[in-house]
Amino acid sequence: MSGQTDTVHGETYTYTLQVCNAGGCNPTITRDSATADKMVDGDAKATAMSVSNKDDSTWNVAWKVDGDASDVEGWKVCWSDFAWTIAGDMPTQCTDAGAATGTDVSADIMKPGGATKKYHFTAVPYDDKGNMKNDVSMTDITLTIDNTQVDPCEVDPDSEGCQTIGTDGAEGSEVPTWTWGVIVGLVVVSFVAGAFILSRGGGGEGDKDWDY
């Protein structure tokens, strides 16, 4: 029997156990009872909710607890990039904010990556059985992603590799070390190419067919 689908919240159910066979039933009967718990009791609710930038990678979501929170084990902040006006449409992306202490509660949420976008938030209580309330979105904030690429030569134009040979800025400066590697490489390539051209001259006979 499923406590979540086959019972009514708050109802007490009594069960009996008696061993029986073809010869009859044992007179000993065992009984026990349990009360169905399918939701968070009380009317605890998040109010006066706000969200702000804590730092470059974190939001801080804050709210006040209103109502009877005696059955509340903790709170979860649920959020998404869309707004919802029906509690049942609440997103499943939630961050556990832990137990509430007093009426002022807050939680830190890691910012997602991606494009610039508006995000919507709500906070809902849960009990020690894992039951959780739903609620509509209550606040929002726009996350701005800066995808601007910074030219390292704009930051440090005097660094090695940022000097342009022949300009005033390069006068008096030493030749970058990587330039010597390029020069040596060109010399080696020229030597190999020259040797290949000369080798195409034939086998020592007078009439040589040169290939240039």
The candidate with the shortest Cα–Cα distance to 174, out of 183, 186, 165, is 165
Question: Using CA atoms, how far apart are residues 15 and 31, in angstroms rounded to an integer?
Answer: 6
Tell me, yes or no, if the pTM score tops 0.75.
no
For every one of its 212 residues, what pLDDT tens digit does the chain have, with 9 covering 90 and above? Answer: 676 678 888 888 899 999 999 999 999 999 999 888 888 999 999 999 999 999 989 999 999 999 999 999 999 999 999 999 999 999 999 999 988 777 889 999 999 988 899 999 999 999 998 999 999 999 999 998 876 655 566 656 666 666 665 555 545 556 667 767 778 777 777 777 777 776 665 555 555 555 54
Question: Using CA atoms, how far apart are residues 18 and 6, in angstroms rounded to an integer?
Answer: 23
DSSP reduced 3-state for 74: strand
Q: Work out the angle at residue 142's Cα, subtended by the Cα atoms of residues 137 and 148, and round it to the nearest 5 degrees.
A: 155
- Domain range 45-143, its CATH number among 3.30.870.10, 3.40.50.720, 2.60.40.10, 3.40.605.10: 2.60.40.10
Question: Between the CA atoms of 135, 41, 37 and 132, what dihedral angle is there, to the nearest 10 degrees?
Answer: 30
Task: Give the domain ranges of the chain.
Answer: 1-38, 45-143
